[in-house]
Amino acid sequence: MAATSSKYIVWGLISGAIIGVGSYLYFNIKKAMDFDSKISGFKLISQNSEKIVIGIDLDVTNKSDLKAEITGYDFDVFINDNHIAKVNNTTQGLFINANSTSKINLPVEMKKSTFASYNDFSKIYALLLTAVANAKTTTIKIKGKFTGKLAGLELKNYPLDIKYTLEEILS
């Protein structure tokens, strides 16, 4: 009879450990998927008659107790609700430590050849040139999705949709 009781105790401990680890992972995955993100930087990197390159910094906070990895992203970038570029990366492995924030640098390249007409490119060029002068009303929006890993599990198509004024970003 003692051997039977010992088996139940061992199986109870094993079951409890499995449930405990599973719950820990589940709650940390939920925390990681509730990450915070903020546009924290915006700058003109280069410009000429054929292309414009701006840099946007995106701060991403991992609220989980586990290290997370961003394995890719696919974003659309808007200025004053005008779509200016698509930015994606599927090769970058950006690690975000537990309960911390990391910065993603988004190089946004706008080539004249990718716009429907020269007038469209000229509008974006003019929009960028006047953005700083109108920092209170100029908005930068990033919309798209992340992919990543947490505790060996792949997280796909996690949505991002944020919008800030240029004044908020630069302050």
pLDDT digits 0-9 by tens, 99-149: 899 998 999 988 877 776 556 777 777 777 777 788 899 999 999 998 888
Element (H, E) at 99: none
> Is the distance from CB of 21 to CB of 66 less than 8 angstroms?
no
Domains with residue ranges and CATH for the chain = 2-170 (2.60.40.10)
pLDDT digits 0-9 by tens, 81-97: 888 889 988 766 788 88
**Beta pairing class for 153-165 and 82-89:** unpaired
Q: Which two tokens stand for residue 31?
A: 């925390």
Q: For residue 33, what are the contacts with CB-CB under 8 A and spacing of at least 6?
A: 155, 158
How many CB atoms lie under 10 A from the CB of residue 80?
A: 15
Give strand pairing partners of 37: 60
Helices (H) and strands (E) in the chain, counts: 3, 8
> Is the distance from CB of 96 to CB of 68 less than 8 angstroms?
yes
List Cα–Cα distances, 62 to 4, 121, 123, 152, 164, in angstroms. Answer: 46, 37, 37, 16, 20
Within the chain, strands assigned E span 36-47, 51-62, 68-79, 82-89, 94-96, 100-111, 139-150, 153-165
Q: Which two tokens stand for residue 4?
A: 């039977």
Give strand pairing partners of 101: 61
> Is the distance from CB of 70 to CB of 94 less than 8 angstroms?
yes
pLDDT digits 0-9 by tens, 63-87: 888 888 888 899 999 988 888 889 9
Q: Which two tokens stand for residue 76?
A: 């659309």
pLDDT digits 0-9 by tens, 46-60: 888 788 899 999 999
